[in-house]
């Protein structure tokens, strides 16, 4: 018993040391304390791995979203999606309208897709790791009345499709029903603002 504990403790220490040397080491008490250079360093370190991972199983969004319009100047932390750095991409159909960050009076065109990549920050594990790719797709008018024709989806960092309960996502996004459920990136990082 004692021996096992010692080995476990040793493993933790070793993992900590390894993390400290690599570019994903994360020790901040709160993700909201992160400064821009640190955020950019995490993204730089993980961005290739993320795009490869989301596309690993050929997901139709996960394998192409990096070619779309980026909507923020850099990833940023927003409370509701957890301790995560977030960066959203908009496909051709969505980009014109989305990038206006309009407050009212529009419905996104059918075929719009927004893909939001995430980096999970865990001070417990001492590391930043790729998180899910969150996806919203606007369906044809009337196709999904419960969600204002949005389909919510997700892809894991290994490319596998997530099981997403529509109401889980929509019950929060409905807070922005005056702008077709869109939450938008934090104001300070919106492109062109």
Nearest distance from C-beta of residue 125 to ligand HEC, angstroms: 22
Please identify, using beta-carbon distances, which residue of 90 and 127 lies nearer to ligand HEC: 90
> Is 58 within 8 Å of 155 (Cβ atoms)?
no
Among 27, 64, 39, 54, smallest CA distance to 185 is for 39
Rounded to whole angstroms, the Cα distance separating 92 from 109 reads 11
Contacts of 32 (CB under 8 A, 6+ apart): 77
Question: Which one of residues 114, 119, 127, 128 is an interface residue with ligand HEC (CB under 6 A)?
Answer: 114
Residue entry with tokens 């077709």: 180
Nearest distance from C-beta of residue 186 to ligand HEC, angstroms: 5
Told to check if 86 binds ligand HEC by CB under 6 A, we report yes
121 φ, ψ (degrees, to nearest 5): -110, 120
Question: Which one of residues 18, 141, 143, 168 is an interface residue with ligand HEC (CB under 6 A)?
Answer: 168
Told to check if 54 binds ligand HEC by CB under 6 A, we report no
Of the candidate spans 9-17, 19-27, 120-128, 178-186, the one that interacts with ligand HEC by CB under 6 A turns out to be: 178-186
Nearest distance from C-beta of residue 49 to ligand HEC, angstroms: 20
Told to check if 80 binds ligand HEC by CB under 6 A, we report yes
Please identify, using beta-carbon distances, which residue of 34 and 153 lies nearer to ligand HEC: 153
Binding to ligand HEC (CB under 6 A) within 122-161 occurs at: 134-136, 152-154
Rounded to whole angstroms, the Cα distance separating 183 from 186 reads 9
Q: How many residues bind ligand HEC (CB under 6 A)?
A: 24
Told to check if 183 binds ligand HEC by CB under 6 A, we report yes
Sign (positive or negative) of CA dihedral 78, 158, 51, 21: positive
Distances in Å between the Cα of 108 and the Cα atoms of 46, 149, 166, 180 are 31, 10, 18, 7
- Give the strand pairing for 76-77 and 84-90: antiparallel
Told to check if 112 binds ligand HEC by CB under 6 A, we report no
Binding site for ligand HEC (CB under 6 A): 76, 78, 80-81, 86, 88, 114, 116, 134-136, 152-154, 164, 168-169, 172-173, 182-186
């Amino acid at each position: 018993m004692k021996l096992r504990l010692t080995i476990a403790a040793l493993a933790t220490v070793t993992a900590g040391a390894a993390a400290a040397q690599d570019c994903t080491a994360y020790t901040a008490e709160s993700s909201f304390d992160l400064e821009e250079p640190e955020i950019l360093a995490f993204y730089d370190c993980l961005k290739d791995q993320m795009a490869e991972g989301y596309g690993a199983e050929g997901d139709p969004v996960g394998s192409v979203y990096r070619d779309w319009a980026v909507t923020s100047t850099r990833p940023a932390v927003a409370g509701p999606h957890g301790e995560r750095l977030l960066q959203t991409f908009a496909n051709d159909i969505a980009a014109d309208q989305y990038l206006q960050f309009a407050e009212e009076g529009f419905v996104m065109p059918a075929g719009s897709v927004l893909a939001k990549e995430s980096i999970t920050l865990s001070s417990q594990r001492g590391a930043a790791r790729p998180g899910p790719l969150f996806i919203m797709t606007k369906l044809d008018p009337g196709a999904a009345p419960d969600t204002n024709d949005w389909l919510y989806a997700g892809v894991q960092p290994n490319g596998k499709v997530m099981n997403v309960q529509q109401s889980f996502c929509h019950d929060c996004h409905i807070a922005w029903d005056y702008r077709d459920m869109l939450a938008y990136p934090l104001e300070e990082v919106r492109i062109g603002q």
